[in-house]
Amino acid sequence: MNIVNGLKKTFFDTVNTCKELFIIIIPISIITRFLDIFGLIEYIGVFLSPVMGIVGLPGSMGIVWATAMITNMYAGIIVFAALAPQAGLTVAQVTVLATMILVAHSLPIEIRISQKAGPRLRFIAPLRIFGALLIGFLLNKSYEMFNYLQEPNQALWTPAAKDSSWIGWAKGEINNFIWIFLIIITLLLTMKILDKIGVIDLLKKLLTPVLTILGMSSAALPITMIGMTLGIGYGGGLIIQEAKNGEMTKFDIFYSLALMSLCHSLVEDTLLMVVIGGHISGIIWGRILFTFVAIYILGKIMRKVPDSIFNKHFFRV
């Protein structure tokens, strides 16, 4: 009977979590669809063209990054596949672009999810965008300094053209919603099982010193790990529920989402960047190292910020 009750509770928790996510995702998906149709994303890409020189990329890659930031990584990859042959990119350049996309993509949806949990737009949006530019700059300088990965890039996979009709778009969105529901219910069940057999407690003991350095308590560990491995959509959705339940402090939520913002979806998204030519030195190790250093520095700074300023400018209580 306890198992049945547990499954029922997990199902309803999943429904509530997905409801919070879909309220955010559906309207923003429609807005970004119109931005795409009216060509506004391309204008943003042209605006970003001069910025690409800072990270050692040709201006045409601004359209690729803009597409990934405003819509999603898959759309960015399709644009990349169309423009890359003429750009003559090296492996280092593709790794820089891929890492920037991994840090800053699907911003309208992912930033809104983060906002819903507490962090303010004026903090989380610059963190994503300028964080992506900074890591791109550092990677580019490192690769140039050591003359590393300067050979021509060869993508492992070229995506097929997507169905651009409204029906094709709607089918894709519905498919995404189904997968979100299935993954979240699987995550919740897995977390309950791991908690029962003591794995969560073991991980907390092992990683609490690291979390303490970053300004978080062990309560933030399970969901932070989900966000880092599977993405903000899943980790952020669960954090919204935890925030409502009062299980995590505002500082746990703040630092957890800041960390997720710079380094999330280490599995699926990273593999996507591998197939277009991204090297693990940047898309995995560089991103992880950059994130932990950035969050450590952020923690040092935020400890000196008065609570009133923190609540007014960084976190919505």
Residue 33 in tokens: 């669809």
**In whole angstroms, what is the distance from residue 45 CA to residue 267 CA?**
27
DSSP 110-148: HHHHHHHHSB-HHHHHHHHHHHHHHHHHHHHHHHHHTT-
How far is CA 161 from each of CA 3, 126, 158, 184, 194, rounded to the nearest angstrom?
A: 46, 32, 9, 29, 41
pLDDT of residue 3: 73
| φ, ψ dihedrals at 90, nearest 5° | -90, 170
Domain ranges of the chain: 2-314
One-letter amino acid of 231: G
pLDDT of residue 120: 94
How far is CA 41 from each of CA 31, 51, 107, rounded to the nearest angstrom?
A: 12, 16, 13
Place of tokens 């879909």: 22
Q: What angle do CA 252, 187, 255 make, to 5 degrees?
A: 15
DSSP 216-227: --GGGHHHHHHH
pLDDT of residue 258: 93
pLDDT of residue 148: 96
This prediction's pTM = 0.86
pLDDT of residue 232: 84
> Do residues 149 and 92 touch, judged by C-beta distance below 8 A?
yes
pLDDT of residue 171: 87
Residue among 276, 280, 254 at smallest CA distance from 266: 280
Q: Name 252's Cβ contacts closer than 8 Å, sequence gap at least 6.
A: 216, 217, 219, 220
* 316: enclosing H helix or E strand: none
CA 103 to chain centre: 6
**In whole angstroms, what is the distance from residue 45 CA to residue 39 CA?**
10
**In whole angstroms, what is the distance from residue 113 CA to residue 206 CA?**
29
pLDDT of residue 179: 81
pLDDT of residue 159: 64
**In whole angstroms, what is the distance from residue 87 CA to residue 83 CA?**
7
- Adjacent-strand bridge partners of 90: 152
> Do residues 256 and 217 touch, judged by C-beta distance below 8 A?
no
3-state secondary structure 146-159: CCCCCCECCCCCCC
pLDDT of residue 161: 62
**In whole angstroms, what is the distance from residue 286 CA to residue 307 CA?**
32
pLDDT of residue 157: 65
Q: Walk along the chain (317 residues) in steps of 10 and give the mean pLDDT of each run.
A: 74 82 84 83 86 94 93 87 88 97 94 89 96 98 96 77 79 84 81 78 74 80 80 76 76 90 87 91 96 94 92 89
Q: Is 252 exposed, middle or buried (0-12, 13-18, 19+ CB in 10 A)?
A: buried
> Do residues 234 and 242 touch, judged by C-beta distance below 8 A?
no
**In whole angstroms, what is the distance from residue 258 CA to residue 114 CA?**
9
Q: What angle do CA 131, 133, 134 make, to 5 degrees?
A: 65
Please count the other Cβ atoms lying within 10 Å of the Cβ belonging to residue 213.
13
pLDDT of residue 282: 97
